Structure 1
Amino acid sequence: MAFFKAASRTIHYSDRTMGSGPTLVLANSLGTDFRIWDTLLPKLEGIGRIVRYDKRGHGLTDVTEPPYSIQDLSTDLELLVDHAGLDHFLLGGVSIGGMIAQDYAARHPDQVDALVCMDTAPKIGESSLWQDRIDAISANGLDSIADGVMERWFSASFRKNNPAATAGWRNLLARTTQAGYLGCCAAIRDADLTAATLALTVPTLVLCGAEDGATPPALVKSMADAMQNASYVDIPNAGHIPSLEQPQAVADAMNRFFREQGLT
């Protein structure tokens, strides 16, 4: 693990050199930290360097008062990129991390050689849904929604067969700072990246867990179908965070995509 200061804020990140191939930057989902990529990383082929980070109010990164915008969170990613000295790289993200990746690629198209969007969309849900969640958490705390979130994060078979892991990831969610979680909920509530995302020309791989209860496959596939240079892959037996349930299937799709694009 490593840390750097951006003005008065501390940002937690990981910067691992694997070989001589391209750099991959990864942005994580709402209520998680960069450990959600741990089992995926050893299965990736041809990647020279992997940079991960905890977004604002998550993991070991400082929290600021909500609300946030996707642009705020994308600017945090820009600070990481500058700190790491990256000129160009592959960029991937899941859920809100995928929205951050979309916004970053739209604002910095010269830096992003390829994009991987997992279980995400330019617009996720109606604003009223997110406001209801904000209100519920403000009244009753994060723990009050945690069981329902696990049903969206993981397939029924995973929850049944992996009760300890499910409980552990539930702990991660419940221990996220409330301000950071609510700030990111507000960012999703207010974001509609449709115009900018559909204008992207960067090669894009779009993935979705077949049992995702948060961003259903039909929503995610519709983004891929509407983009100019995107392909879609369904990940069977996975919910909203397929890198946790099916890391090999996710790695296979990413490895194939990067090879086809001549990037690894």
Structure 2
Amino acid sequence: MQALPRPFGALHVRVDGPEDAPAVVLANSLGTDLRLWDRVLPLLPRNLRLIRYDKRGHGLSACSGGTTITDHAEDAIAVIEQMARGPVVFVGLSIGGLIAQTVAAQRPDLLRALVLSNTAARLGTAETWQARIDAIRAGGLDAIADAVMERWFTPAFRASAECALWRAMLTRTPVQGYVAACMALAHADQRAASARLTLPTLVLAGSEDGSTPPAVVQETAALITGAVYHEIPSTGHLPPVEAPAAWAALVSPFLEAHAYD
């Protein structure tokens, strides 16, 4: 457990792997913390420096600001500059993928390649995000939790005891941090910028994803020159949780090709 000082407070970071190894940065989704990646990390190639962090307002990170995607990109840039030696492969899921695209547009010198999982260059609309914010302000995160679980996971996973733990992770997210991230998503639109990206990019979707359906993810893959798209069958919005082996089987060869010098 490490604390990365930021102007708004401490950003919670966890680093696994040798200090001098090529670095991979992983940015998780709205309403989750860095434990999202627990199951896939042991399945990734060895001799990598795996850097995870809690977005501001999530997990153990301080809760302040974060109402624009630029806020979150600046945090990610600070993580890369202070925790990695040289350019990294950036792996982002959902809002993490939108953060990854923003970093790639603003600081391409910091990146070797991108993995965009269950994400898009534009996620939802200002109206849909405002409706979610209104529901949370009226009834807290419990008011949206069941609907979110339906978008995150397949029926089979929702029937398991483990689903209750992910629901608890969501509802224990600070409301201020969650709402701020919703505000960032309401106005984030990287479509024009992502259409100019040329770095190696792997794009992944879950066949049963209710948050970012495959067609939406594939549209973003089509924007990026040379991007490779794969769909993971029988999984929802969080394949690292629901289908870690299938997710890692696609990501590992990409890291082997692009993470090392």
TM-score, normalisation: structure 1? 0.94
Find the counterpart in structure 2 of residue 170 from structure 1: 167
Match of 2:210 among 185, 208, 213: 213
Q: CA deviation at 1:85?
A: 4.3
Quick one: percent identity of the two aligned structures? 44
**Separation of aligned partners in 2, 1:9 and 1:261:** 33
1:79-102 Cα offsets, whole Å, 9 max, x none, are 222221432111001000000000
Per the alignment, in what secondary structure is the counterpart of residue 229 of structure 1?
A: coil
Residue 75 (structure 1) aligned with residue 67 (structure 2): no
| Alignment: residue pair count | 261
Q: Which AA in structure 2 matches 1:130?
A: W
Note the residue ranges of structure 1 that are not aligned, 5 or more in a row.
Answer: none
Is the CA contact (8 Å cut-off) linking 2:22 and 2:259 kept in structure 1? no
Find the counterpart in structure 2 of residue 146 from structure 1: 145
Is the CA contact (8 Å cut-off) linking 1:210 and 1:237 kept in structure 2? yes
**Separation of aligned partners in 1, 2:125 and 2:191:** 14
**Separation of aligned partners in 2, 1:115 and 1:24:** 10
Find the counterpart in structure 2 of residue 245 from structure 1: 242
Is the CA contact (8 Å cut-off) linking 1:22 and 1:46 kept in structure 2? no
Distance 1:15 1:193, change over 3 A: same
Q: Which AA in structure 1 matches 2:60?
A: L
Find the counterpart in structure 2 of residue 111 from structure 1: 110
**Separation of aligned partners in 2, 1:253 and 1:127:** 33
- Aligned pairs for 1:14-29 (under 5 A) are 14-17=14-17, 21-29=21-29
1:130-179 Cα offsets, whole Å, 9 max, x none, are 0100111011111110011001111111112x2x2100000000000000
Q: CA deviation at 1:17?
A: 1.0
Per the alignment, in what secondary structure is the counterpart of residue 57 of structure 1?
A: coil
Which of 139-148 and 3-12 deviates more? 3-12
Residue 200 (structure 1) aligned with residue 161 (structure 2): no
Find the counterpart in structure 2 of residue 127 from structure 1: 126
Is the CA contact (8 Å cut-off) linking 2:19 and 2:49 kept in structure 1? yes
**Separation of aligned partners in 1, 2:112 and 2:230:** 19
Is the CA contact (8 Å cut-off) linking 2:23 and 2:84 kept in structure 1? no
1:194-235 Cα offsets, whole Å, 9 max, x none, are 011111001000001110000000000111122102000101
User: Runs of 4 or more off by more than 6 Å in structure 1?
Assistant: none
Which of 17-26 and 251-260 deviates more? 17-26
Q: CA deviation at 1:47?
A: 4.6
Distance 1:230 1:63, change over 3 A: same
What is the alpha-carbon root mean square deviation over aligned residues?
A: 1.6
Per the alignment, in what secondary structure is the counterpart of residue 124 of structure 1?
A: coil
**Separation of aligned partners in 2, 1:57 and 1:8:** 10
Residue 2 (structure 1) aligned with residue 2 (structure 2): yes
Residue 255 (structure 1) aligned with residue 252 (structure 2): yes
Find the counterpart in structure 1 of residue 185 from structure 2: 188
Which of 19-28 and 218-227 deviates more? 19-28
Which of 113-122 and 67-76 deviates more? 67-76
